[in-house]
Amino acid sequence: MATELPFVLGIDIGGQTAKCGVVNARGEVLAQTIMVSNTHTEAASFVADLAKTLQKLIADAGIDGQVRGIGVGAPNGNYYTGEIKDAPNLSWAHEKNIPFAKMLSEAMGGLPVALTNDANAAAMGEMTYGVAKGMKNFIMITLGTGVGSGIVIDGNVLYGHDGFAGELGHTCAVRGGRTCGCGRKGCLEAYCSAIGVARSASEWLEQHPDEPSLLRLRENITSKDVYEAAKAGDKAAKEIFDFTGEILGRSFADFIAFSAPEAIVLFGGLARAREFLYEPILKSMNENVLPLWKDKVKLLFSSLSESDAAILGASALAWNL
C-alpha cells in the first residue's frame, strides 16, 4: 500500500525557520508553509509544534491518508541514525543528541521519517531540479544562519562512515580567528554566514571610525542591511562583501583539491548578494587553487527558490521509505 501513496512531505529546518512542503511524484511542491524554529529550547516542544504544522498542511492540502513519508533536512542531521547531534544554530539541539526522526515519526502517528543534513538535502534538490542537474560531481554551499555543505561525488551524496561528512563550514578559514558557534576559532562559518557578515560589518565600522557609511544608521546590523547598503552604493558594504568573497574563494580552492568538482553551487539567503560576491569569490578561488584546476571549476548560484530547493531535496529521501 505504501508504495502507491502519491505524496511525501519535505522539511527544511534552519536556524530561524522550518520550511515544510507537500511534494508529488513529479517533484512539484503543491503546498508549503513556514514555522519559526528559534523560539524553542527543548526538542520535544519543537517537534510537537512541527507535527501540528504538518497536520494542518496535510489537512489544508486535502491529502489525509495519502502521505508516504517525511524527509527532513536539518543542521547536523545524521542520515544513518536519524539523529540531530550538537547543532550550534538550533537552540533546542545545541550540545544535545536528539533522536529526531523517531520523535517526529511518533508525533505523526507512525509515518516513516528520513533525516539528512540540510545542505545535503539542498544538494539533492539542486542535482535533481536545478543548475546541477546532470552533474555527478559538485559541492553545494549553503550561506544562511550558518555555512553548510553537501558534497556529491559520482552522483552520490557523501556521508562518510558516521553520517557527518560535509561540515565544510567548520573548516578553518582564518587561523586563530573569531570564535565560532561550534566553539572552535576561525571557522568559515564565523566569517561567511549571515551572522559572520554582520560581525564583519561591526568590525569594519569600529576599525574605520572616520569613514562614512549607511551602516552607521543601523543599531543592530544584519547581513540584509549590508546587502541593502551595498545596493545603494555604500563603499563600506561593498568592502565587506569583498572581504567575505575573498575568504570564501580561498576556502573553495581547498575544497576543490579534495573532490575535483565540476562546480561549486551557492545557495541560501546570503547567496542573494551574488552581484557583490561572485567576482571576489571567483578571483580569490582562482588565485589560490592548484594550477591544475585554475579556471576550470564553475561557480554557480542556485536556480531554485530557497524554499523549493530544500523542500524538494528533503522530500527525495521520503520516496525510498
Q: How do residues 284-304 score in pLDDT, each as one tens digit?
A: 999 999 999 999 999 999 988
Same domain (yes/no): 157, 249: yes
Mean pLDDT score, 205-218: 94
Cell of 34: 513556514
Q: Of the candidates 194, 166, 171, 198, which has an alpha carbon nearest to the alpha carbon of residue 182?
A: 171
Same domain (yes/no): 282, 171: yes
Q: What is the CATH number of the domain that holds 164?
A: 3.30.420.40
Q: What percent of the chain has pLDDT over 90?
A: 79
DSSP state of 145: S
Same domain (yes/no): 243, 150: yes
Q: Is the pLDDT of residue 136 over 90?
A: yes
Instruction: Give yes or no for a contact between 150 and 123, defined as CB atoms under 8 angstroms apart.
Output: yes
Confidence of residue 307 (pLDDT cuts 50, 70, 90): low
Give phi and psi for 126, each to the nearest 5.
-70, -40
Q: Of the candidates 69, 72, 56, 68, which has an alpha carbon nearest to the alpha carbon of residue 6?
A: 68
Same domain (yes/no): 106, 138: no
Please give the pLDDT value at position 320: 81
Same domain (yes/no): 173, 203: yes
Helix (H) or strand (E) holding 281: helix 274-288
Mean pLDDT score, 184-207: 97
226: domain range? 134-302
Confidence of residue 2 (pLDDT cuts 50, 70, 90): very low
Residue 241 three-state SS: helix
Mean pLDDT score, 291-319: 89
Instruction: Give yes or no for a contact between 134 and 151, defined as CB atoms under 8 angstroms apart.
Output: no
Same domain (yes/no): 33, 69: yes
Cell of 83: 539523529
Q: Is the pLDDT of residue 86 over 90?
A: no
How far, in Å, CA of 243 to CA of 239, rounded? Answer: 6
Structural domain contains residue 46: yes
Same domain (yes/no): 33, 110: yes
Mean pLDDT score, 123-148: 92
Same domain (yes/no): 157, 292: yes
Please give the pLDDT value at position 171: 97
Confidence of residue 37 (pLDDT cuts 50, 70, 90): confident
Instruction: Give yes or no for a contact between 115 and 78, defined as CB atoms under 8 angstroms apart.
Output: yes
> Average pLDDT over the chain, rounded to whole?
93
Same domain (yes/no): 88, 156: no
How far, in Å, CA of 245 to CA of 285, rounded? Answer: 9
- The total of structural domains in the chain comes to 2
Q: Is the pLDDT of residue 65 over 50?
A: yes
Same domain (yes/no): 147, 290: yes
Mean pLDDT score, 262-289: 96
Mean pLDDT score, 214-238: 95
| pLDDT tens-digit series, residues 98-131 | 999 999 999 999 999 999 988 898 898 898 888 9
Q: Is the pLDDT of residue 232 over 70?
A: yes
Structural domain contains residue 190: yes
Same domain (yes/no): 274, 241: yes
Confidence of residue 270 (pLDDT cuts 50, 70, 90): very high
Q: Is the pLDDT of residue 201 over 60?
A: yes
Confidence of residue 151 (pLDDT cuts 50, 70, 90): very high
CA dihedral 209, 212, 214, 217 (to 10 degrees): 50
Name the residue type at position 200: S
Give phi and psi for 296, each to the nearest 5.
-105, -25
Q: Which of 6-15, 104-113, 225-234 has the lowest mean pLDDT?
A: 6-15
Structural domain contains residue 129: no
DSSP state of 165: -
Greater model confidence, 307 or 76: 76
Same domain (yes/no): 71, 145: no
- Which residue matches cell numbers 571567483? 282
Confidence of residue 1 (pLDDT cuts 50, 70, 90): very low
